[in-house]
Amino acid sequence: MPTILTLYEFSEEQAEQIRDIAPDYELISATTKEVTPEQIREADILVGWNRKTEEAALESDRLKWVQAWSAGVDYFPMDRFEEKKVLLTNAGGVHAIPISEHIFAVLLAMTRNLHGNIRSQVRGKWDKGGTYGEASGQTMVIVGTGHIGRATAKLAKAFGMKTIGVRHSGRPEEYIDEMYKTDGLEQAFAQGDVIVNILPLTDETHHFFDKESFSRMKKGALFINVGRGPSVDTEALIEALDSGILSGAALDVFEQEPLPEDHPLWKREDLILTPHVAGNTDHYEERAADIFIDNLKAFVRGETLPRNLVDYSRKY
């Protein structure tokens, strides 16, 4: 009997849906600590992934599809999956609301100098210093305009901001006033009061934000990174802050995680640092399960998976 092995706990209602959609499959649930290599090797569909599962999954001759519980898939063995004809889908879209709200949380905090006020509070100081600006009327450049970029642009329009998008294809997107291909970065960056990085990590995007990229930005811009840590050259970022190219930055992801306690970024007062939590939400499990269930309906019918099928040639 073919099996669906999930490393995440579905609700009873979700489990019933899965059994109704795929009555010929056995649904097996196991925690990441308890799952055995034998269970992984015998799975036809695997929901979830970690380093422990990789060796057994790649040994399997049965595995046909892996549903990732994350949006980023740069840590998956995609070349081997492609070779073995294993499908991979991610949880893209789950994070659109929490990450777009996180972007605006840090944007408004830095625009209204809340980060400075909070530091003064901790020190017990009544300090009215600092700059107090407004989001309204500013231009936001969103690099990576998928689910999260679109949700971010929608919020930006509600705050009266102009929105510029950058994507590989240059295809227009709702809530984006102007869209540029990556070869139009210089023109896009020159207009940006706020630059938001939502890029996935691929060979092409590693250190996408380097010294040259920062040099193209409008002086005094705010940089927000909720994409992938290695897409930003940390040393180049520090140089851009020191030189005044950037007025500040909000970073949720880093080249090295956890960020070492002695890292110079911790001591900077022109930064807001968060420990890779922008996508955290109490709605995560429900939304990720919905993606899997929609894909499962197509899978059992032998159809192309409709949601978040990873293109191995693009690595996302």
Among 276, 285, 287, 307, the one annotated catalytic = 276
Neighbouring C-beta atoms of residue 47, cutoff 10 Å: 24
Single-letter amino acid code for the residue at 25: Y
Enumerate residues 6+ apart whose C-beta is below 8 A from 137. Answer: 160, 161
Nearest to 141 by CA among 168, 95, 102, 178: 178
Among 95, 115, 167, 228, the one annotated catalytic = 228
Neighbouring C-beta atoms of residue 229, cutoff 10 Å: 17
Q: Is residue 102 annotated as part of the catalytic site, yes or no?
A: no
Q: Is residue 276 annotated as part of the catalytic site, yes or no?
A: yes
Enumerate residues 6+ apart whose C-beta is below 8 A from 66. Answer: 45, 46, 47, 49, 57, 76, 81, 86, 87, 88, 89
Q: Is residue 268 annotated as part of the catalytic site, yes or no?
A: no
Among 16, 186, 257, 286, the one annotated catalytic = 257
The residues annotated with a catalytic role in the active site are: 228, 257, 276
